[in-house]
Amino acid sequence: DDKAKLDVFLLFLCVHQCQTATWRSTLPPLLCSPVCGLQPAVTPRILNGQASQPGRWPWQVSLRYGGTHICGGSVITNSWVLTAAQCFDLELWEVLLGMHVLQGENPGMVRSRVRRLIPHEKYNKSTMENNIALIELEQPVPYGHLIQPVCLPKSGHTFQLNGTCYVSGWGAVGDGQEPLPYPGVLQELRVPLVGPRKCGCLYSLPSQLSGQPVNVTDAMICAGFQEGGSGASQADSGGPLVCEESGLWFQAGVSNFKEGCGHTNRPGIFTLVSAYQNWITDKVDKTDFLYLPLTWHVLLPWVRWSSLWPLYVKTAFFIL
């Protein structure tokens, strides 16, 4: 109908305006707004989390080795996935995108081989510093209702401690040792962010777990509950911590499993994505990132996104 045609026309007008500009260097701040961080319309166990609805977290991926889910990750372009460096002691990986359950049918799921694994060059397995990695997929994947990119924040961006943030994944539940019950539905958990000073103080307190003291650095972000009981577990490593800002979802952190999960005075530690913006853009082909002009963001409430999901559009990289 006429409204759908207008939607498509506005989209391609916006794409054309940004594709004719030199990447980043000639774009004024906030000129462009993204096709990223958007959830499709869905009906409104991470440790003690709850089952999510299909398509609620369309950037979530499952990283598999020998058919077994090992780590999580997030779609940042149609050719690249962001995850944790700790996941790659093994070589033969495959990436499952658009997946909702570990066992059973996943209509719309896409399976991809890996072209390249790029862990951070300064990743320290002992301290978990620089625990971030990129995966280049063998072939670009089409976006759709179940596969969408998450937005990435600019370097130095600070997320509000009282913001709306979630972790998601297929990790253990219960005391952190119990696998998800069949069929293994993707779990989600809303978590509060914890300030760096408080997080460092909590990790300086005695723990019921043995191991090295944890040094919370400026390149980490903490989220979780001081009283314990809920959080990300080991198979959630590499998965996203996302926060909503201005109606869009940005990846604040990469799950960085270190010392148990869900324990008192031990909020989850995540690799701070904004601290690695330059590293990410240095590795990822900049042509994979697409900007849309500010006018498109203003028009968002008018646009029926359901009519646009089938369109093949390269991802956006939104700089707050």
Q: From first to last of its 320 residues, what are the pLDDT tens digits of the chain?
A: 665 555 555 555 544 444 443 333 333 333 334 478 887 654 333 445 577 888 899 999 999 988 888 899 999 999 999 999 998 866 668 999 999 998 888 999 999 999 999 999 999 988 889 999 999 999 999 999 899 999 999 999 999 998 999 999 988 765 556 777 888 899 999 999 999 999 989 888 876 655 566 789 999 999 988 765 554 544 488 999 999 998 899 999 999 865 555 567 788 899 999 999 999 999 997 656 544 433 333 344 433 333 333 333 334 444 44
Domain contains 158: no
Select from 78, 58, 4 the least CA-distant residue to 312.
78
Listed in sequence order, the residues at least 6 apart from 231 whose beta carbon sits closer than 8 Å to its beta carbon are 46, 47, 167, 189, 191, 224, 225, 261, 262, 266, 267, 268
Domain contains 189: no
Domain contains 238: no
Q: Which tokens is 80 given?
A: 């690249």
Domain contains 25: yes
CA gap 80, 74 in Å, rounded: 9
pLDDT of residue 181: 81
pTM of the predicted protein model? 0.76
CA gap 258, 28 in Å, rounded: 40
Element (H, E) at 97: strand 93-97
At which residue do the structure tokens 């940042």 appear?
76
Domain range for 316: 1-35+293-320
Select from 66, 51, 84 the least CA-distant residue to 180.
51
How many domains does the structure of the chain reveal? 1
Can you say whether residue 113 is alpha, beta or left, with left for phi > 0 and alpha for psi between -120 and 50 degrees? beta
Domain contains 12: yes
Domain contains 267: no
pLDDT of residue 208: 62
Domain contains 274: no
Domain contains 40: no
